[in-house]
A and B are shown apart, each in its own frame.
Chain A
Amino acid sequence: MSLSSLPTAAAEYDWGIVWDNRSMLLNGLVTALEVSAVALIISMVFGMALALIRLGRAPFSWIAAIYINVFRGVPALVSVIWVYFGLALVLDISFSVFQAGVIALSLLYSAFLAEIFRSALNAIPKGQKEAGLALGMKPVRIFFSITLPQATKIALPNVGNMFIGMVKDTSTFTVIGLLEVVRVTQNLVAETFQPFVLYTAAAALYVFVAFVLDFLFRLAERTLDTPPNGALSRGLRGRKQRRIQALIDAQPSVRPSTAT
């Protein structure tokens, strides 16, 4: 964009400072992604556990339902203040800002992911588990070999959306001083007095990350397609398919029982 085409006030916009401070901004972005990624992994484990408890027996399923409904409603800003100033005091531990951010996000997103996993688990036909049981498989094995892979495929797009939400929620962690994108931006604004330019750059970073994450999760979803769809999916499963093909080729293709 050419600066001369903007209104006169815009002539004071110094877009060059974004480039000059790119490494600070990108470091902020990396911090935001790190906090979110660690929290995502924790939230997936706890979210799945919560979903299973929620689908299970009565007194426990109520407790899970209460947790889910409370923490879905808590803003990230409040969550991180609870963790950093409240929980730390109660447990008499001092968290680093990174740890506090991870815990705060995990508390909230375990609840969101629990609901996503619950509906994914519910979407799997009853006959799948029954077939596993009828074959004599143990419930744990049925869960990991039959239910979970199918539920993962269903849940994946929503998990991707949650991850994008987590990255954006890290922006509130500026309140505890985590050097994520917004905190970095605030520091730069204090030095340069260019809030419009810098916050626009920050927003562009979030949008860019959302695009990339969406793309990556779509890719991951496609690798789970049956039959394998796309080069990546075929590449990942090619070895297995070749093993099966070898078994097919090694055997006589006529049916001995019908030959007579």
Chain B
Amino acid sequence: MRAATTVPPTQHDSPETAGAHAPRPAGQPVVELRQIRKSFGDLEVLKGIDLEVHKGEHVVVFGPSGSGKSTVLRSINLLEPPTSGSLKVAGVEYGPGLPGESGVKKGKPLDLRRSVGMVFQSFNLFPHLTALENVCLPLRSVRGVKRDEAEQRSADALRRVGLLPRAAHFPGQLSGGQQQRVAIARALTLDPEVLLFDEPTSALDPELVGEVLSTMREVAELGMTMVIVTHELGFAREIGDLNVFMEDGVVVETGPRGFFDECHNPRTQKFISAVL
């Protein structure tokens, strides 16, 4: 199989996956990419990506560096608008659309970004604001929450990631792991439909990876819909309801839980054995 959309949900109900693994949910996906293409000048970096993300699902995207993983995530919130193809979030079209479907009413990028959260590899906290203010700023300016309530909710969010005692610290006073946990709190507080993670632990010293992964695990347990680009295949194996292997701008292979032991494509197998 090459694309998530071409696989009917029932196919996962085959005897070897039923029971142990939940079938892929039916119904309207939270995120739906169809034939997404993206070029930078002459260089085509996404060559027709199909992907469906359902409510509560944890999708792992992995593959060699330069294969287009970040670009896929960044096209989901239109930080990189696709050159062509359809991008639907909660049923609303935000992309250029498919050839036969022109004339579909398009949503505004601002509305899209208000329902999609993102956690960056380099955290991207605002260095001139305290941890609390980092969480508070979007809550006030995007959701229009009043100051007292926004501060209260920001404090709650920091407590959830275990960083309330650091609320008055500035990003420069926090470790990388702590900064990333604040970034997760900042994204979570806006209550997104889906949370995108672009290699959230790649910029961290090895001893700080664990704390960020365990925060992500807790977010997953809350039922958050997540798309995670990561090289932490151990974590991916544990959390991925749907696993997507990318190479050279195409989805090579996708699979459900257990994928890391059952993948068929030799390129996927080669990559996994090289990383694990």
- Chain A interface residues (CB < 8 Å from chain B): 125, 127-128, 130-138, 141, 145-146, 149-150, 153, 224, 226-227, 240-241, 243-245, 247-248, 250-253, 255, 257-258
Contact = CB atoms under 8 A, between A and B. Distances in A.
B141 A134 contact: no
Interface of B: 77, 79, 110, 113-114, 116-118, 120, 122, 124-128, 130, 132, 137-138, 141-142, 151-152, 155-156, 159-160, 162, 164-165, 167-170, 172-173, 186-187, 190, 218
A135 B155 contact: no
Contacts of B186: 135
Nearest to B109: A133
Given A128-B124, A255-B159, A248 B168 contact: yes
B172 A251 contact: no
13 contacts: A134-B79, A134-B120, A135-B117, A150-B126, A224-B128, A226-B127, A241-B130, A244-B130, A245-B168, A247-B152, A248-B164, A251-B164, A252-B159
Given A127-B122, A136-B113, A255-B160, A244 B128 contact: no
Given A131-B125, A134-B77, A250-B155, 19 more contacts: A127-B122, A130-B79, A130-B124, A134-B113, A134-B120, A136-B110, A136-B114, A136-B142, A136-B190, A137-B137, A137-B141, A137-B142, A146-B126, A149-B128, A150-B128, A226-B172, A241-B168, A244-B130, A248-B165
- Between B113, B126, B142, the greatest number of chain A beta carbons within 10 A of the residue's beta carbon is seen for B126
A139 B122 CA distance: 21
B127 A134 contact: no
Contacts of A251: 155-156, 159, 164
B30 to A, nearest CB: 16
B129 to A, nearest CB: 8
A145 B156 CA distance: 23
Contact of B187 (A135, A138, A149): A135
Given A133-B79, A224-B128, A248 B142 contact: no
Nearest to A153: B128
Contacts of B165: 248, 253
Given A247-B155, A257-B160, A133 B128 contact: no
A247 B151 contact: yes
Give the top 3 A-B pairs by smallest Cβ distance, nearest first: A131-B124, A136-B114, A134-B118
Contacts of B151: 243-244, 247
Contacts of B164: 247-248, 251, 253
Contacts of A240: 130
A128 B126 contact: yes
Contacts of A125: 122, 124
A83 to B, nearest CB: 38
Contacts of A241: 130, 168
A158 B120 CA distance: 32
Nearest to B162: A255
A172 B77 CA distance: 55
Contacts of B117: 134-135
Nearest to A224: B128
B170 A227 contact: yes
Given A133-B79, A136-B190, A145-B141, A226 B170 contact: yes
A145 B137 contact: yes
- Between A130, A131, A135, A240, the greatest number of chain B beta carbons within 10 A of the residue's beta carbon is seen for A135
A112 to B, nearest CB: 25
B168 to A, nearest CB: 4
A73 B238 CA distance: 64
A253 B159 CA distance: 7
Contacts of A133: 77, 79, 113
- Between B132, B164, B172, B187, the greatest number of chain A beta carbons within 10 A of the residue's beta carbon is seen for B164
A248 B155 contact: yes
A147 to B, nearest CB: 10
A141 B120 contact: no
B152 to A, nearest CB: 7
A251 B116 CA distance: 29
Contacts of A227: 169-170, 172-173
Contacts of A141: 141
A145 B142 CA distance: 12
B218 A257 contact: yes
Contacts of A252: 159
Contacts of B173: 227
A127 B190 contact: no
